[in-house]
């Protein structure tokens, strides 16, 4: 044991050996918190002679729990019993399996997952609420989220119904009651129930509470910054007035508020435990000092935090690099070239992380890496082109270009009010008439499809008209946007609040726009849709190459998925306004602080080098405007990073800006010959629109609500000025 303690620094040693009062450990990024937790467990067993089974340690992921168990077994092998190390939910399950009768459960109850929940909610809606068309606009996951919030706030179905302010809310509350009733009939509970029922058990059965309080001589909580109110209540039930609690976390890494985590819980720990003490672990064993200097200075912009400066003895290394790029493709090419340089300098592919705020941002990197034979893996998501929403969008283009039955069927499945029964009847009808599915819908007498369903006229007209739309402009993006809007596909995504899917479509628009610009006609007599076929072939080739290498890969993942991880090289990409931070956080100081914490997490994943990239000037459907540098870049101290512009001798545009300010760098609305802001224009396909912004030869035009804001060239032959 003495050898273990000698390996600790002064703050770590105090964190391990303080056991007589509630302790909060504020563990800065890379400060060895897992080492402290596992060493403390060993100390409790080896020095204080505590029985291992009397120690409880809870965390938030199975991976973290497994790592803790492995480290404890390595430090103190051959234990006669084991400490209980698990996730919060797993520990709650253990409690309920022992005291199920007290809380009204049957023995051998089951725990359902979200997939089961979705199926149950869908069936209940069809059975009891089929007449409520408004309810059908809500996704099952949104309803599950609403029910989960009620549960976590300890609101019963009856109380939910009494508090409802609208008919649709009352319907969801009624559905909540029927959902609870159904779970009882199948002897099941959901993940929210695990914690809620343990709270009710402890709150209503003092004997059971006392039993579980006596079960553990010591309680430890990892990732304490991620706790919500209900979890904190469970911790207080177990440890109140016992001085047997250690919590470990970092307020600057609270990035899961959308799951209920509250940064104020860790910040106000000593208000709940009046005799509690705090220790800060501020020596970093992961990153270079230059990386920490940038991270420390940046996070100081947050107001709701405890000040701490993380330091390291590793004073070597380079300044972080901030790179300005012209486009998303330019950004991906830059990162690709840097990776090749790093590999030549002795690094391995597995040493590299690519971090982004939105999953949709991975698309250009996937494409560029495949073209350059850079092995990569996606964490926390499937490849861009394999995502359902992208496959559906591309099916519209396949239908236009190839008219193949598989694509037509996928299009039919993706649009509103067309189901499997209708599709089956259409296929049977086409077979009887000896025509293709496409021809039946588009080219045969409309009477045939009207006999099957009255909801096919729209898609018939869209597919027929899309040929003309493409022939008029030869622009794939414009054509696809027309098809998705007019078919009702985009409205379906909006109605079901699939915001991430919408961002994927916007990212696809960006990709198609770039393809349209770069496409070169090989001969003047090529067929009308040959460009679309070329695009689809290119995408198919990108997805067809399997990668056999598992360990040696560049890893692409979101900032949230990277929490708790580290690597030698980190690229933080897409640091653009309305992307990181996102549009929805712009008007909330609280949400901006969380976004700032997310960027802090991203930077502090790096051990040796950090590259931060942003795009300036290119229009993006994700941001609905020309991409501009994130406000966070303006908060960086210019002396703490090296700037790389578009050109070799580019000067840093933020060099004369106070890094704590928010300067207005807006250079928009430059007048272009022929058009001015607020002009009303007419587009041959999209109808009337208002010019809201002009940048050189490109203007942003606000069309109808269906099409929204779109970039239009001032030389586009399909537009004319109306006023």
β-pairing, 321-325 vs 642-644, is parallel
The whole-angstrom separation of Cα 651 and Cα 643 is: 8
Q: Which of 34, 491, 624, 638 is catalytic?
A: 34
Does residue 605 have an active-site annotation? Answer: yes
Tokens of 489: 């596909």
DSSP secondary structure of 391-460? HHHHHHHHHHHT--HHHHHHHHHHSTT--HHHHHHHHHHHHHHT--HHHHHHTS-HHHHHTT-TT-HHHH
Q: Indicate which residue of 38, 174, 253, 511 is catalytic.
A: 253
| Range 411-442 burial, b when 16+ CB lie within 10 A, else e | bbebbeebeeebbeebbebbeeeeebbbebbb
Ligand-binding site membership of 381 (annotated): no
Verify whether residue 226 is a known catalytic residue: no
Residue 30 annotated as binding site: yes
14 known member of a binding site: no
The residues facing 219 across adjacent strands are 56, 245
* Burial environment of residue 579 by CB neighbours within 10 A (0 to 12, 13 to 18, 19 or more): buried
DSSP 7-24: TS-HHHHHHHH--SS-EE
Q: Is the peptide bond before 149 cis (omega within 30 degrees of 0)?
A: no
SS3 for 247? strand
Q: How far is CA 408 from the centre of its chain?
A: 31
33 annotated among ligand-binding-site residues: yes
27 known member of a binding site: yes
For the question of residue 410 being annotated catalytic, the response is no
- CA of 586: how far to CAs of 197, 579, 583, in Å? 37, 10, 6
Q: Is 34 a catalytic residue?
A: yes
Among 192, 90, 197, residue whose Cα is nearest residue 145: 192
Compute CA distances 335 → 218, 325, 543, 547, whole Å.
Answer: 48, 10, 21, 20
- Active-site residue, selected from the candidate residues 24, 33, 328, 477: 33
What's the order of all strands across the beta sheet hosting 321-325? 376-378, 554-558, 352-356, 567-572, 606-615, 321-325, 642-644
Q: Is 28 annotated as a binding residue?
A: yes
Which token pair is 590? Answer: 């609280």
Can 223 be counted among the known catalytic residues?
A: yes
- Which of 222, 618, 626, 693 is an active site residue? 222
* 34 annotated as belonging to a binding site for a ligand: yes
**What is the 3 state secondary structure string of 587-641?**
CCHHHHHHHHHHHHHHHCCEEEEEEEEEECCCEECCCCEECCECHHHHHCCHHHC
Question: Does 620 count as an annotated binding residue?
Answer: no
Residues with catalytic function: 33-34, 222-223, 253, 605
Binding site as annotated, residues: 27-34
Binding site as annotated, residues for ATP: 27-34
């Amino acid at each position: 044991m003495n050898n273990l303690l000698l390996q600790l620094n002064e703050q770590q040693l105090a964190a391990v050996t303080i056991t007589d009062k509630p302790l909060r450990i504020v563990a800065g990024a890379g400060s060895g918190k897992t080492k402290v937790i596992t060493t403390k467990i060993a100390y409790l067993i080896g020095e204080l002679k505590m029985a291992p089974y009397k120690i409880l340690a809870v965390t938030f992921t199975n991976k973290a729990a497994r790592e803790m168990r492995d480290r404890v077994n390595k430090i103190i092998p051959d234990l006669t019993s084991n400490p209980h190390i698990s996730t919060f939910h797993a520990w709650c399950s253990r409690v309920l399996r022992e005291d199920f009768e007290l809380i009204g459960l049957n023995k051998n109850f089951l725990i359902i997952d979200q997939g089961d929940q979705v199926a149950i909610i869908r069936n209940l809606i069809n059975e009891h609420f089929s007449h409520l068309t408004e309810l059908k606009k809500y996704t099952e996951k949104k309803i599950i989220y609403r029910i989960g919030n009620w549960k976590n706030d300890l609101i019963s179905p009856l109380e939910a119904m009494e508090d409802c302010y609208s008919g649709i809310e009352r319907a969801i509350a009624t559905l909540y009651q029927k959902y609870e009733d159904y779970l009882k009939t199948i002897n099941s509970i959901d993940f929210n129930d695990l914690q809620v029922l343990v709270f009710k058990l402890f709150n209503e059965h003092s004997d059971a509470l006392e039993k579980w309080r006596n079960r553990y001589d010591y309680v430890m909580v990892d990732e304490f910054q991620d706790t919500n109110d209900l979890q904190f209540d469970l911790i207080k039930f177990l440890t109140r007035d016992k001085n047997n609690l250690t919590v470990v976390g970092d307020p600057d890494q609270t990035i899961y508020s959308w799951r209920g985590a509250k940064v104020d819980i860790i910040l106000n720990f000593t208000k709940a435990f009046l005799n509690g003490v705090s220790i800060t672990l501020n020596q970093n064993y992961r990153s270079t000092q230059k990386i920490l200097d940038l991270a420390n200075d940046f996070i100081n912009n947050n107001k709701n935090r405890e000040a701490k400066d993380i330091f390291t003895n590793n004073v070597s290394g380079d300044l972080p690099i901030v790179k300005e790029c012209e486009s998303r493709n330019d950004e991906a090419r830059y990162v690709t070239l840097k990776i090749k340089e790093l590999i030549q300098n002795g690094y391995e592919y597995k040493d590299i992380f690519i971090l982004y705020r939105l999953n949709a941002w991975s698309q250009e990197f996937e494409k560029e890496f495949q073209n350059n034979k850079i092995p990569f893996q996606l964490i926390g998501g499937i490849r861009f082109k394999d995502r359902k929403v992208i496959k559906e969008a591309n099916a519209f283009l396949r239908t236009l270009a190839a008219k193949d039955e598989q694509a037509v069927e996928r299009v039919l499945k993706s649009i509103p009010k067309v189901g499997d029964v209708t599709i089956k009847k259409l296929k049977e009808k086409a077979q009887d008439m000896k025509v293709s599915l496409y021809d039946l819908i588009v080219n045969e007498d409309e009477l045939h499809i009207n006999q099957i369903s009255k909801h096919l006229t729209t898609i018939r007209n869209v597919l027929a008209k899309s040929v003309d739309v493409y022939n008029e402009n030869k622009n794939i993006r414009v054509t696809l946007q027309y098809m998705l809007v007019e078919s009702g596909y985009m409205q379906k995504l909006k109605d079901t609040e699939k915001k991430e899917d919408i961002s994927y479509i916007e990212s696809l628009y960006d990709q198609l726009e770039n393809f349209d610009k770069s496409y070169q006609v090989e001969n003047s007599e090529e067929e009308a849709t040959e460009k679309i076929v070329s695009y689809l072939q290119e995408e198919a080739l990108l997805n067809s190459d399997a990668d056999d290498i598992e360990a040696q890969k560049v890893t692409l993942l979101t900032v949230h998925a990277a929490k708790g991880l580290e690597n030698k090289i980190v690229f933080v990409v897409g640091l653009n306004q309305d992307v990181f931070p996102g549009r929805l956080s712009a008007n909330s100081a609280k949400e901006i602080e969380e976004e700032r914490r997310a960027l802090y997490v991203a930077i502090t994943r790096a051990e040796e080098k950090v590259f931060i990239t942003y795009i300036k000037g290119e229009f993006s459907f994700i941001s609905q405007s020309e991409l501009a540098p994130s406000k966070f870049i303006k908060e960086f101290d210019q002396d703490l990073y090296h700037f790389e512009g578009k050109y070799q001798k580019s000067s840093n545009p933020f060099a004369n800006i106070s890094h704590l300010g928010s300067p207005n760098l807006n250079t928009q609305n430059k007048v272009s010959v022929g058009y001015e802001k607020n002009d009303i224009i007419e587009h041959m396909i999209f109808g009337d629109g208002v010019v809201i912004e002009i940048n050189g030869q490109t203007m942003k035009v606000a069309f109808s609500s269906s099409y929204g804001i779109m970039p239009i060239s001032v030389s586009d032959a399909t537009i004319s000025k109306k006023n």
